[in-house]
Amino acid sequence: MRADGPRHGRPLRPAVFFDRDGVINADLGYVGDPSRFVLLPGAAAGVRAASAAGALTFLVTNQSGVARGFYTEDDVAALHRHMAGLLAGEGAHFDDMRTCPHLPDAPLAAYRRDCACRKPGPGMIVDLMAAWPVDPARSAMIGDKPSDVAAARAAGIRGLLYTGGPLEAAVARALAGEG
């Protein structure tokens, strides 16, 4: 990181790290194209609420479908542009996103890696915290699997297990210091 980089000299902010499948969109299994991307009711409101509270908003998603050859990294990027459009239509946005396309025993050799970014590894969260002015003490990850919570704790932030219902309520808990 450069000393004059974007993080330098700015006040630290709370951040909410959102898992994708099962939190933002319905987890239909290896969602790789817009036809199978179903925004969950309340997802946009949850992301919007985090921004309105002054938090940075990040998407942190494992996409081993890339390593399995179900879809490509370009497909994921296109899907995330589609997602951003849906969210923007409801006044919500992610400040940044990270995707892990790897898998230790991947069929595709290019993605066969025991990486640090695949949750429960902390790599994607750590990377975002290096790139943005994040206050770890006021930040949390919201995910629907224990691996999301484990990734958060490994990165030094809180982790909240999302079990359904209004995402906005989970965001409020995250920013109130729970988890």
| Residues binding Zn ion (CB under 5 A) | 100, 102, 115, 117-118
Residue (117 or 140) nearer to Zn ion, CB: 117
Report what 19 binds from Zn ion, Mg ion, none; CB cut-off 5-8 Å by kind. Answer: Mg ion
Contact residues toward Mg ion (CB under 5 A) are: 19, 21-22, 144
Report what 22 binds from Zn ion, Mg ion, none; CB cut-off 5-8 Å by kind. Answer: Mg ion
List all residues 6 or more positions away from 88 whose beta carbon is below 8 Å from its beta carbon: none
What is the smallest separation between the CB atom of 166 and Mg ion, expressed in angstroms?
17
What is the smallest separation between the CB atom of 117 and Zn ion, expressed in angstroms?
3
Residue (96 or 144) nearer to Mg ion, CB: 144
Choose among 154, 87, 153, 90: nearest CA to 116: 154
Per the annotation, the verdict on 74 as an active-site residue is no
92 in Cβ contact with 86 (< 8 Å): no
Per the annotation, the verdict on 75 as an active-site residue is no
Helix axes 167-175, 43-52, angle to 10 degrees: 30
Range list of H helices, 41-145: 43-52, 64-67, 73-88, 123-131
109 in Cβ contact with 72 (< 8 Å): no
Helix axes 146-155, 123-131, angle to 10 degrees: 50
Choose the catalytic residue: 4, 21, 114, 148.
21
What is the smallest separation between the CB atom of 177 and Mg ion, expressed in angstroms?
23
Question: Which residues are annotated binding-site positions for Zn(2+)?
Answer: 100, 102, 115, 117
- Known binding-site residues equal 19-21, 27-30, 61-64, 100, 102, 115, 117-119, 144-145
Q: Which residues are catalytic?
A: 19, 21
